[in-house]
A and B are shown apart, each in its own frame.
Chain A
Amino acid sequence: MRRYFSRKLLIYGLTFFVAVTVNWMIPRFMPGDPVASMVARANVNKPEAVEAMRAYYTGLFGLDQPLWQQYANFWGALLRGDFGVSIWLFPTPVSEVITRAVPYTLALIVPSVLLSWVVGNRFGAYAARRRLLDNTVLPVGYVLTAMPYMWLAVLLAWAFGVILGWFPVAGGYSFSMRPNWSVTFLLDLLHHWALPFLSLFLVALGGWAIGMRNMIIYELESDYSNYLAALGAPSRLIRRYAFRNAVLPQITGLALQLGVLVAGALVTEIVFAYPGLGSLILKAIQNKDFFLLQGTFLFIVLGVLIANFIIDIVYVVVDPRTRAGMAGAQA
């Protein structure tokens, strides 16, 4: 088990290192002069802001210093939690802008991912080898998983927001309200949260259902299932064993899908103008706010790594083979 975790941690450490290095390299090795183009593209009118930006960029890029020192400085700033200053919301630090947006993204992504995983697995397991259900779950699942996240979001917003008028289609809360802990505000928050959540939930649901259905069919054909059936075990019992075995690859699948799920959350937020990281990225791109963009990138990478690690721990809890040090889970 120690080997399993140390190997995982090594991979995550390396990944973080690579991500930071990529983040550092791209502005420096892309064609063109980043400082001049950034200052020019930022379209800031105030001369003191332009001056501050130029000084800041030159200081950060440290173009007079040797490359290795620039690289070391970049890590130093990073470890101090210094992501630079946002241009779009000058002079708010990037870390502050991001921490303000993160709760919204987490509130969307965590429930939708977990719920779609649980419900999708149930659906898929139930549909497997049941002709009528299989013939409906499978096509619906394929359509859902082939949908671009933002398209379903747009359709839901159009149907439930614009035509029926049941839900608001923009923002994290009503413009007339200030964030506080009152019941009316929390209800308003929930009202705005419902559609983006539903959209994320539905697209992810299809993939899990299909995956589970295929895994269950595979497990039901395996030797232990046939043996149980030969002994005369009720099919409910066999199915329960099959489900427990089929869940393991689905847990691994959850880890593999994290990147796609995050991407889906980002574009869904943009559709609903939901004040999370996705809308932040859109604003950063529109305002050429590269510090904000790069800070968000590192934040997302970090979040995905942490989520991966949590899934690894869950895997150890669920699969006794990893605990016994047998070849259960591959690194």
Chain B
Amino acid sequence: MSALQEVAPPERAGVRREALYFAVRNGKLMAGFGIVLVLLLLGLLGPVLFTDAPNEYGPQPMSPPSAEHWFGTTTFGQDVFTQFVHGLRSTFAVGVVGGGIAAVIGMLVGFVAGYRGGVVDEILNMLTNVILVIPTLAVLLIVNAYLGIRSVAVQGLFIGLTQWPWAARAIRAQTFSLRTREFVDLARMSGAGTGRIIAREIAPNMSSYLFMTFILLFGGSVLIASSLDFIGLGPTEGVSLGLMLQNANQWSALQLGLWWWFVPPGAAITAVVGALYVANVGLDEVFNPKLRET
């Protein structure tokens, strides 16, 4: 064990430096993360700078974008830009909570099923398949409809609880291929327990894969949350991008021609999720030498 650990660190640092070398030269990765970073900063700093309550009614309803109201106002005179920055924040929050919970459950189930195999694998696999087939949104509809007070955190929690199956399946398959490698055998022979082997030997060897899984789960959570908001099961207080779309649809922004009400929120969701997907392709190229463009 000790001999292994002495050899491992310099090698790992080398891999990291190489990954970084290719990462900063990868256009997809940089552009994708750049867009996400800009929107993230807007969501984090915006509500600090634009402290007005996002849902407060204003004196100038239905005015198009101007110097005073950057994104115009709604039929109730609410400032669309203020709603937008607050909404961005809840969108990122739902993505982190939903994607994070789904990633944790998916990793637990995937690692244990893939590493232990046998009956444990059979049971976990059955559970995964059952939840995989159930249409997620339908379950979330029922749960959220019965929840009296809804918050972004609870929404994210339930999204996370229903989103994990495909991640679990993918991680299980990867674990399966890793568990018969020599270094895992070596760790097993030196008496390491299951948890330790998974945490120290298997997980680090697929860390890039896990990170990419989290990104996809994040994007999925954002999209599902926006659908829920749009159906009218969004957070009961506060703003989200999906809620903005719902309000715009409900108060016929379409027929009234208030395009500044429904274009920004949808564009922001598309930008966040799309940029993450593109960054994911870039990451894949960074970690997988076969895919690098020559």
Contacts and interface: CB of A to CB of B under 8 A. Distances in A.
Interface of A: 11-12, 14-15, 18-19, 22-23, 26-27, 30-32, 34, 37, 139, 142-143, 145-152, 154-155, 157-158, 161-162, 169, 221, 256, 258-260, 262-264, 266-267, 270-271, 278, 281-282, 284-286, 290, 293-294, 296-297, 300-301, 304-305, 308, 331
Interface centre among B136, B142, B255, B272 (most CB of A within 10 A): B142
A301 B272 CA distance: 30
B245 A262 contact: no
Nearest to B263: A155
A270 B230 contact: yes
Nearest to B269: A148
Interface string B91-116: 00000000000000000000000000
B134 interface: yes
Given A143-B270, A154-B266, A157-B254, A285 B233 contact: yes
B145 A285 contact: yes
Classify the interface of chain B: helix, strand, loop or mixed: helix
B142 A297 contact: yes
Contacts of B278: 139, 142
A160 B241 CA distance: 24
Given A30-B146, A300-B135, A305-B133, A146 B219 contact: yes
B132 interface: yes
Given A162-B257, A282-B232, A331-B129, A301 B277 contact: no
Contact of B126 (A14, A259, A281): A14
Contact of B143 (A12, A26, A139, A271): A26
Interface string B245-263: 1001100001101010011
B224 interface: yes
A191 B281 CA distance: 39
Contact of B139 (A22, A30, A143, A258): A22
B254 A259 contact: no
Classify the interface of chain A: helix, strand, loop or mixed: helix
A192 B226 CA distance: 25
A11 B147 contact: no
B241 to A, nearest CB: 9
A150 B230 contact: yes
Contacts of B166: 256
A86 B17 CA distance: 63
Nearest to A34: B146
Contacts of A293: 141-142, 145
A263 B135 contact: yes
B254 A158 contact: yes
18 contacts: A18-B131, A26-B146, A31-B148, A37-B148, A142-B278, A143-B270, A145-B277, A146-B269, A146-B272, A146-B274, A147-B269, A147-B274, A148-B270, A155-B263, A158-B262, A161-B254, A263-B135, A304-B133
Contact of A148 (B139, B227, B277): B227
Contact of A18 (B130, B254, B259, B266): B130
Which 3 pairs across A and B sit closest by C-beta, in order of nearness?
A: A151-B266, A146-B274, A259-B135
Interface centre among B139, B143, B166, B224 (most CB of A within 10 A): B139
Contacts of A305: 133
